[in-house]
Amino acid sequence: MVDIAENGRTWLLSGPASSYALHLTEADELLHLHWGPRIALADAEALALSPLPAYWPFESPLDGREEYPVEGGPRFVRPALSVRTEERRGTEWRFVSHQSEGDELRLTFDDDGLAVTLHYRMRGDVLERWVTVANGGHARVELLRADAATWTLPDREGWRLSQLHGRWAAESLLATAPLTYGEKIIGSRRGHTGHQHLPWVALDTDATEERGEVYGCALGWSGSWRIAVAQLPDARVQITGGAGYDDSGLLLLQPGESYTTPVFAGLWSDGGFGGASRTWHAYQRAYVIPDADRDRPVLFNSWEATNFDISEEQQAALARRAADIGVELFVVDDGWFGARTSDRAGLGDWTPNPDRFPHGLKPLADQVHGLGMQFGIWVEPEMVNPDSDLYRAHPDWVQYQPGRKRTELRNQLVLNLAREDVQEYLWEQLDTLLSSAPIDYVKWDFNRCFTDAGWPGEPYPQRLWVDHVRALYALLDRLRAAHPSVAFESCSGGGGRIDLGVMSRTDQVWTSDNTDPLDRLAIQHGFSQIHPARVMAAWVTDSPNTQLNGRESSLRFRFVSSMAGVLGVGGDLTEWTGEELAEAHRWVELYKEIRPVVQRGDQYRLRPPAGGLSAVQYVLGDETVVLACLQAQHYGEPVPALRLRGLDPTASYECRETGEVHRGAVLLHHGLRTGLKGDLDATVLRLCRI
Ligand code: DGJ
């Protein structure tokens, strides 16, 4: 809901537990007033009366207080908006109008024909912010930088910054450190979201997992991006974020053209990091993820089992095994198309390899359907191998700098998706593919970063960075509209493209190529800070782990680790013994029982993976599920009990595994024993309120 002061210059947006307020001075300076617990309009109006500090001339009274600091005038902070016209650089705006509708507020400013609109939309307790810049009068406007928002934190001492960092096979690792003066910058200059940072930060001073104030910000953009967290000279903290890594130019706006930034969402929670995560999860399930109330099926993916060496008969054999253990969706990964027998060839030619699938994909898809499963397929549409029919026909369709070497990574080049002919080619190829066989699922991969992002002949080639992402989104939207029953997975060599932007167009994401169940606990712990289990794909693969570390682990440990998200199986089932297959079947059936609670419930991180016992708990209505993993038991000491969360202290709960009845108050205060011991042990405990 939006409250507006009578003078039309103070605005208050409120969700169930939080409020956000801003104020426009008589000089048209837009100041931040409040972000935190719910307040009344009168409180915001009282805050608006506080005078700006009298810093001058070496500091600016506006710095650290403005909603959207533009370049120019008495400001020394990082500008969120930087524009260049034929005459000058910078912005000096005049307030034009405000509009509000439901939970949405729009404030429009004008600078001599350049219209800047700040958008605010409350979604539960998550505030979405974005900006539109429109050229209404200039011969040309160069947008050097247009961030989606600047967030301002209240005055506190001792801010800490949490981030999710990583690299291939080690994504989403949580790191927290004190913030000091100056700027901390995270982002990607790789053309995709990147494995190195999830576009999320959290700021707190003394929060714990379940208590204390946490501020979180997350960007919905799948290209290069930047989030700058600045502690200013007076210790105030601002967080600015948007598309693009540097300020060298996003787009050129011709008269009548406009640019809309991605959404930079933010929340305040006083429920600690756990409370903040649950608010993020609820927001994504309600407003971001398509059909989030529909649970995701258990899938099998062929990648680790068969790599590039695939055939129709061999995939059919795997499919029969997968069906036997209860899998619901069978996905053929890389290697089914063009001349793709290794990573050296074939990308770009999205028709079935005639030697491997002589009658196309339909016979296999029909067999899979006949086994009672859905059928899925892998693609990597934004790429091309030089050894492909597509590249031979259109060598100029890739990103390249004239006269320079075309950098190959994984033997592939990036297609220039900003070109309309490339967009049309991909649409035709993928639309034809999805119409050629009963395909229910597309795993959409992206396996290299931009390196030579040039576009010979294009007057403003920088636009390729933004336009690639826009074209990707448009292609996904068009395919989804034309094939509404097909679900999509976002993958980028594991977790290289996970963000709120792609998540609004895909049904789940591939978390990491690291399928080692122990490493996964830390990756999943980080992932859950922002994203819900409902999108977090996790596969049980072979032991010893073939991809990374050779670690041996039991099926039990592998399954429990993977049941914390959308369960998948990725091992070579043709090599599994009858006993292993029977055990796998039992775990898959158990997952199906707990799936609604895991995928739709409130998640509580009971203990982080730190070497010993770790556990996550999910609560949906009367049902509770605990997934507990013990990495190593030391010194013969008993494994600690798990203090549960989110239960009714006055109720009793029956544990399905043991038949024991526990008092809610006891589970909350004293905890539940897991019975785990030794190394790499794990268990699932289901509790039902009675
Ligand atoms: C990278 C993905 O993350 C893997 O799961 C697999 O699909 C390979 N690409 C295939 O090339």
- Per cent of the chain over pLDDT 70 is 100
CB of 450 closer than 6 A to ligand 1? no
For the domain spanning 299-601, the CATH number is: 3.20.20.70
Confidence of residue 54 (pLDDT cuts 50, 70, 90): confident
What 3-state DSSP class applies to 171? coil
Average of per-residue pLDDT values in the chain: 97
**Chain position carrying tokens 């001339």:** 57
Q: Is 556 labelled a binding residue?
A: no
Strand partners, 619: 602, 624
Q: Where do you find CATH 3.20.20.70 in the chain?
A: 299-601
Evaluate if residue 53 carries a pLDDT over 90: no
Task: Report the DSSP pairing between strands 182-188 and 197-204.
Answer: unpaired
Q: Is 355 a catalytic residue?
A: no
* Pocket residue to mutate for ligand 1, from 171, 301, 334, most atoms within 8 A of Cβ: 334
Q: Where are the CATH 2.70.98.60 domain residues in the chain?
A: 2-287
- Residues 210, 175: Cα–Cα separation, whole Å: 18
SS (H, E, C) 628-668: EEECCCCCCCCCCCECCCCCCCCCEEEECCCCCEEEHHHHH
**Around 345, how many Cα atoms within 13 Å sit in the side-chain half-sphere?**
12
**Residue environment code for 408-446, b if the CB has 16+ CB neighbours within 10 A, otherwise e:** eeebbbbbbbbbeebbebbbebbeebbeebbbbbbbbbb
Phi, psi of 430 (to 5 degrees): -75, -35
Non-local (6+) Cβ contacts of 659 within 8 A are none
Give the distance from CA 371 to its chain's centroid.
33
Alpha-carbon gap, residue 510 to 535, rounded angstroms:
8
Return the pLDDT at 690.
Answer: 95
The reply to whether ligand 1 has any atom less than 6 angstroms from the CB of 493 is: yes
Residue 262 pLDDT > 90: yes
Nearest-atom index, ligand 1, CA of 510: 3
Q: What is the mean pLDDT of residues 131-154?
A: 96
* Other C-beta atoms lying within 10 Å of the C-beta of residue 51: 6
- Read off the pLDDT band of 248 (50, 70, 90): confident
* Dist. CA 127–CA 142, nearest whole Å: 29
Bridge partners, residue 165, by sequence: 173, 197
| 443 marked as binding residue | yes
Q: State the pLDDT at residue 231.
A: 98
Residues forming CATH 2.60.40.1180 domain(s) in the chain: 607-689
Q: Which atom of ligand 1 is nearest to the CA of 443?
A: 7
Pocket test for ligand 1, best of 168, 337, 340, 378 (most atoms within 8 A of CB): 378
pLDDT over 80 (residue 126): yes
Band of pLDDT at residue 414, cut at 50, 70 and 90:
very high
Nearest Cα to 289, choosing from 502, 129, 537, 8?
502
Q: What angle do CA 270, 275, 281 make, to 5 degrees?
A: 135
Distance between Cα 594 and ligand 1 center (Å)? 28
Asked if residue 445 has its Cβ within 6 Å of ligand 1, the reply is yes
Q: What is the mean pLDDT of residues 87-104?
A: 96
Q: Which homologous superfamily is 607-689 in?
A: Golgi alpha-mannosidase II (2.60.40.1180)
Average pLDDT over residues 473-501: 98
Torsion angles phi and psi, residue 398, rounded to 5 = -100, 165
Averaged pLDDT, 663-688 = 97
What pLDDT score was predicted for residue 56? 75
Name the active-site residue from 387, 445, 499, 681.
445
**What pLDDT is attached to residue 395?**
98
For 1-12, how does the pLDDT look when each residue is reduced to its tens digit (9 = 90+)?
999 999 999 999
What pLDDT is stored for residue 622 in this prediction?
98
Report how far residue 192's alpha carbon sits from residue 447's, in angstroms, rounded to the nearest whole number. 10
Taking residues 517-540, what's their average pLDDT? 98
For a substitution probing ligand 1, which of 167, 192, 301, 303 has the most ligand atoms within 8 Å of its CB?
303
Give the model's confidence band at 385: pLDDT under 50 very low, under 70 low, under 90 confident, else very high: very high
- Give, in order, the Cα–Cα distances in Å from 181 to each of 61, 151, 204: 18, 17, 16
Range list of β-strands (E), 321-453: 329-332, 374-379, 383-384, 413-414, 441-444
Q: Is the pLDDT assigned to residue 282 strictly greater than 80?
A: yes
Q: Is the CB of 304 under 6 A from ligand 1?
A: no
Averaged over 502-525, what is the pLDDT? 98
Distance CA 261, CA 241 (A): 10
Among protein residues, the one with the nearest Cα to ligand 1's atom 9 is 493
Q: Which atom of ligand 1 is nearest to the CA of 492?
A: 3
Please state the atom number of ligand 1 nearest to the C-alpha of residue 343: 11
Q: Are 228 and 183 in contact (CB under 8 A)?
A: yes
Indicate the burial class of 274 (C-beta count within 10 angstroms; 0-12, 13-18, 19 or more): buried
Burial class (CB in 10 A: 0-12, 13-18, 19+), 95: middle
Is 513 annotated as belonging to a binding site? Answer: yes
Does 444 contact ligand 1 (Cβ within 6 A)?
no
What does the alpha-carbon distance between residue 651 and residue 632 come to, in Å, rounded to a whole number?
Answer: 33
Residue 398 has pLDDT above 90, yes or no: yes
- State residue 170 phi and psi, 5-degree precision: -150, 50
Under the banding of pLDDT at 50, 70 and 90, the label for residue 301 is very high
Asked if omega into 297 is within 30° of 0 (cis), the reply is: no
Q: What is the pLDDT of residues 465-485, one digit of tens each?
A: 999 999 999 999 999 999 999
Range 408-412 average pLDDT: 98
Going by alpha carbons, the residue nearest to atom 11 of ligand 1 is: 334
The CA radius of gyration of the chain, in Å to the nearest whole number, is: 26
Catalytic residue chosen out of the listed positions 467, 499, 507, 513: 513
184: confidence class by pLDDT, cuts 50, 70, 90: very high
Mean pLDDT of 513-524: 98
* Helix residue ranges per DSSP H, 15-68: 41-48
Cβ of 349 closer than 6 Å to ligand 1, yes or no, is no
| pTM confidence score | 0.98
Q: 2-287 has which fold?
A: Beta-galactosidase; Chain A, domain 5 (2.70.98)
Given the CA of residue 378, which atom of ligand 1 is nearest to it?
7
Clarify whether 445 is annotated catalytic: yes
Helix, strand, or coil here: 235? coil
Cα-to-centroid distance, 568 and ligand 1 (Å): 14
Ligand 1: which of 337, 513, 546 to mutate, judged by most atoms within 8 Å of the beta carbon?
513
The whole-angstrom separation of Cα 605 and Cα 619 is 12
* pLDDT digits 0-9 by tens, 592-647: 999 999 999 999 999 999 999 999 999 999 999 999 999 999 998 999 999 999 99
Preceding peptide of 178 cis, ω within 30°: no
